[in-house]
Amino acid sequence: MHETAISLPVILPEVVLAAGTLALVLYGALRGERGSNLINEIAVGLLGLVFILMVARNRPMGVTFYGSFADDAFTRFMSALALVGSLVTLLLSVEFMRQERIGGFEFPVLILLSTLGILMLISANDFIALYLGFELMSLALYVIAAYRRHDLRSTEAGLKYFVLGALSSGMMLYGISLIYGYSGSVAFSAVANAIHDHASIGVLFGLVFALVGLAFKISVVPFHMWTPDVYEGVPTPVTTFFATAPKIAAMAVLVRVVITAFPGIANDWRQILTFVSIASMVLGAFAAIGQRNFKRLMAYSAIGHMGYALVGLAAGTVEGVQSVIIYMTIYVVMTLGTFAAILSMRRAGRAVETMADLAGLARTDPAMAFFLAAMMFSLAGVPPLAGFFAKFYVFAAAIKAGLYGLSVIGVLASCVAAYYYLRIVKLMYFDEPAPAFDRPSPVVRIVLALSALMIILFVFLPSPITNAAMAAAQSLF
């Protein structure tokens, strides 16, 4: 790829997003509460425009800002996926924020700022750019987590996330400084050239500390402690955002770091990823069994799913990276659909979150029950839904790389996890009905229906995603 000092076409989506966000901050400061509805609409339009620019075929690819940012097929695929997460979150949040009387123009602006950090993080090609993107994303996330200021659970969740996030960020920065000290560079390609196939103990320590920060953001064991409390405590649209876009960004940059900066010491980082993957899959499978709150259940589910995604990365091959990209794509669709269903759970104007509230849903709202059941079967990995293929690709890549033990543990953990997903289906179809939910907004219904249809129809047309994922994976090697 051609490297330039500063090329505007290469970073056009990020420039448009940054300029638009700053304009909205200025408009919001001048108009106050009166401008919040318009700001929501402009924010959605801005993310839509950035998405179109990101996937535009005629925009040149390259490495810019003196090698700090790379715009390749991998960057474009993962950025487009993250933008979908941000865009759907904003669409889902409008009605919820109005019903819960959580006003202010700040929320869409914070989502946009965090998304800008996410795009920087995904395209980062050296450790300095990585850290800048990471912090821009995180600082907005800390504020969003505690956005409902007068709610005790929300402020507690925000504080937990901030304290643990600051700790992991510091550890990552320490790791980056060690890598720089022992390799003499912060650029991923230069680090790879300096290390070759033998890393000193200092580089290995640096790699471990750098992985801590990213492991925290994708909420894998042992850096998962914040996830259930934050998922439960923050407003549901915020949980939807946490569960999608930042996870994609952290997983994308984790893939780029280990594949492009440390290809020569794959055996060393494979051991770390294998341990983290097994621990996450097992904890995600067993810890969710006793949960009664739907959002807490989804937190443990997310921990488990990130473990499955790491199975593909542990393979360290092109097929492995392709499987991670496919997994994250299907995971995002399943997560957005499930959270759209959670946002539909309102009774007498009040949000309800326990699984018992779903009892007998098939009789009170058959369409929602069907779509949510499709999500649950897919999350469990039941064929022929998309969730089955997500797991099939990562396990196939691991087996091809000789990681038989990891694959077997993954399949067993998946069997255990199926219990709590199928329990929700049993509640909806076989239990006595609870009082009916209020009619949800059309946007929530559309997101749920579209997600379910994509999950069901993936088996008939997988090639657009699998081919794009392969092209994205090959751009890293």
Residue 341 falls inside a structural domain: yes
Residue 5 falls inside a structural domain: no
Q: What is the pLDDT of residues 351-382, one digit of tens each?
A: 888 888 888 888 888 999 999 999 999 999 88
> What does the longest C-alpha to C-alpha distance in the chain come to?
66
Question: Which long-range CB contacts under 8 A does 258-263 form with residues at least 24 apart?
Answer: 258/313, 258/316, 259/316, 259/321, 259/476, 259/477, 260/188, 260/189, 260/192, 260/476, 261/188, 261/189, 261/191, 261/192, 262/191, 262/192, 262/195, 262/199, 262/207, 263/192, 263/316
Q: 6 versus 134: which is more confidently predicted?
A: 134
Neighbouring CB atoms inside 10 A of 423's CB total: 14
Look up the pTM and report it: 0.93
In this prediction, residue 4 carries a pLDDT of 61
> Which residue carries 């900066």 as its tokens?
261
Q: What is the pLDDT of residues 21-56, one digit of tens each?
A: 999 999 888 877 777 788 888 999 999 999 999 988
pLDDT band of 288, cuts 50, 70, 90: confident
Residue 437 falls inside a structural domain: yes
281: which 2 tokens?
């899959």
In this prediction, residue 275 carries a pLDDT of 92
Which class for 143: exposed (0-12), middle (13-18), buried (19 or more C-beta within 10 A)?
middle
In this prediction, residue 469 carries a pLDDT of 92
Residue 312 falls inside a structural domain: yes
Q: What is the pLDDT of residues 202-220, one digit of tens each?
A: 888 999 999 988 898 888 9
Domain of residue 456, residue span: 12-474
Number of structural domains (the chain) is: 1
pLDDT band of 98, cuts 50, 70, 90: confident
CA gap 146, 234 in Å, rounded: 7
Residue 2 falls inside a structural domain: no
CA gap 78, 350 in Å, rounded: 36
Residue 7 falls inside a structural domain: no
CA gap 30, 157 in Å, rounded: 31
Q: What is the overall mean pLDDT for the chain? A: 89
In this prediction, residue 114 carries a pLDDT of 94
Q: What is the pLDDT of residues 313-359, one digit of tens each?
A: 998 889 999 999 999 999 999 999 999 999 988 888 788 888 888 88
Tell me which amino acid residue 164 is. Answer: L
Q: What is the mean pLDDT of residues 394-404?
A: 91
Residue 3 falls inside a structural domain: no
Q: What is the mean pLDDT of residues 96-121?
A: 86
What residues have CB less than 8 Å from 151, skipping those under 6 apart?
A: 233
Residue 6 falls inside a structural domain: no
CA gap 392, 412 in Å, rounded: 13
In this prediction, residue 97 carries a pLDDT of 81
DSSP state of 5: S
Nearest to 374 by CA among 449, 281, 263: 449
Nearest to 302 by CA among 341, 334, 257: 334
